[in-house]
Structure 1
Amino acid sequence: MYRRWREPADVERRLESYGLVLKAGRWYVVAGPGPRTFRVDQILRLVASQDEFTRPDDFDLAAYRTAYQRDFHDRLYQGKTVVRLAPGVPLPTAVRANGRTEPNGWTVVTVPIESVDHAHAEFLRPGTGVEVLDLPPELRDRIAGTVAELAGRHGNPGQHGDD
């Protein structure tokens, strides 16, 4: 039994193990038929089978994992935006090679984003140390709306818009 992130969550799977991979502190099993990748900590119940299988002779675990990671990021990132980061705000790992530092010390980078919701939360973390310069416009609008709401809430102690 395997728990996946989408419905139905708990599903039966037959796994013909091709190998184990450790990535960012998590173990994954690469298994056929397919092959497909499964998080080991999401395997809820495992029943050993007496059935035999043969891993394809031409299967290269390292090459599969490299291609899987590339494809995963292609599926994960739904777009990109351009942001300015203040001095001292760390560059996200995915954008280290494309930053351009301005004379004032701010860095302009193109950042892949998973979704507007995810980017909204991520870009609020550095506070005034980030500015969204580019599309999508709904991202700039959401950040501006959140900041305006926070300013209104914190600008008048004891006055809450939701009372």
Structure 2
Amino acid sequence: MSIILLLQTRGRMTAAQLAGELEVSVRTVYRDVEALSAAGIPLYGDAGHAGGYRLLDGYRTRLTGLTEGEAQALFLSGAPGPAADLGLGSVLTAAQLKVRAALPPELRAQADRISGRFHLDAPGWYADEDETPYLSAVADAVWNNRILHIAYRRWRTPTDVERLLEPYGLVLKAGRWYVVAGPGPRTFRVDQILRLTTTDEEFVRPDDFDLTAYWTAYQRDFHARLRQGEAVVRLAPGVRLAGQPETGGRTDDDGWTVVTVPIESLDHAHTEFLRLGTGIEVLEPPELRAKLARTVAELAETYGNAGARGGD
């Protein structure tokens, strides 16, 4: 069934391409193709450099091969918010209606059930929604392989720069849109595009570019660069550092836990550790401990003076 659906959606594919997509051996593909042909599926193989397997023109299979779990996942992954951002909200609704109509009655009931019980809303509560006025223009350039001329605001100086982009793909991460573009490729936040002009010049998207693989590697590299330092801290009983991998875990005589945690920078760790108040004590590095001590002293002076001003 997977071979049929791949050929139905992508057209001609070689045995090696099918094997790579399905994570099986080429021999397994040969065996399954023979079984499909024996079952009456109009599947043909062409030899030569431009050869491969293909289905007879006009042949379509119905969606009766979907399992219950696949049907549920299909309607769970609708993502109406992002689709609407890209101007595809009505298209997504129409596609779901067509898929639903093609499902057998028992799977249709399962799809309706999961749609009514689960709703995905990825952005966090306290994050302001990014303004992305150029999102549809970027999406159109991605789709049509058009080079973009943008003015872009980045975090380092000079902050405002101009770039020519070959947009390979769009990624939605935690409610924020990113465009992955060549040359490079590199990653840009769509909400930081100040101005945009779509050129008439087309670019050739690299055949070997895999957006999912790139983004996975990009995230891995980002997190590796994000936390290059370490801090040794004491945590009061019951206190944990949310989202931080801890090593060590030795408990001292006072019941406090001594752990080593990765930190992004002294300034970032200073801000994050202050949130825990007296529930944390920094032991190392000494620069971070001194920075926190200065802040606490300044706070004590500020509130001490405030108390004095509030007296008679």
TM-score, normalised via structure 1 length? 0.82
Please tell me the root mean square deviation across aligned C-alpha atoms, in Å.
2.3
Per-residue deviation, residues 21-61 of structure 1 (Å, max 9, x unmatched):
11122110000111000001011111112211121111111
1:101 deviates by: 7.0
Note the residue ranges of structure 2 that are not aligned, 5 or more in a row: 1-150
Match of 1:34 in 2: 184
Per-residue deviation, residues 108-139 of structure 1 (Å, max 9, x unmatched):
4332222212211211111001111222x111
Where has structure 1 moved over 6 Å in runs of 4 or more? none
Match of 1:143 in 2: 292
Note the residue ranges of structure 1 that are not aligned, 5 or more in a row: none
CA spacing shift, 1:33–1:99, aligned 2, 3 Å: same
Per-residue deviation, residues 39-86 of structure 1 (Å, max 9, x unmatched):
010111111122111211111111211211122223333411122333
The worse-fitting range, judged by mean Cα deviation, of 70-79 and 101-110 is: 101-110
Match of 2:197 in 1: 47
Bigger CA radius of gyration: 2
CA distance in 1 between partners of 2:290 and 2:154 (Å): 33
The worse-fitting range, judged by mean Cα deviation, of 42-51 and 29-38 is: 42-51
2:214 to 54, 64, 73: 64
1:12 deviates by: 1.1
The worse-fitting range, judged by mean Cα deviation, of 41-50 and 140-149 is: 140-149
What amino acid sits opposite 1:139 in the alignment? Answer: L
Structure 1 vs Structure 2: percent identity of aligned residues? 71
CA distance in 2 between partners of 1:151 and 1:59 (Å): 56
What amino acid sits opposite 2:264 in the alignment? Answer: E
Match of 1:113 in 2: 263
CA spacing shift, 1:17–1:105, aligned 2, 3 Å: farther
CA distance in 2 between partners of 1:22 and 1:110 (Å): 32
More helix by share: 2
The total of aligned residue pairs comes to 157
Q: Secondary structure at the match of 2:201?
A: coil
What amino acid sits opposite 1:140 in the alignment? Answer: R
TM-score, normalised via structure 2 length? 0.45
Q: Secondary structure at the match of 1:82?
A: strand
The worse-fitting range, judged by mean Cα deviation, of 68-77 and 51-60 is: 68-77
CA contact (8 A) 2:250 2:257 kept: yes
CA distance in 1 between partners of 2:258 and 2:171 (Å): 35
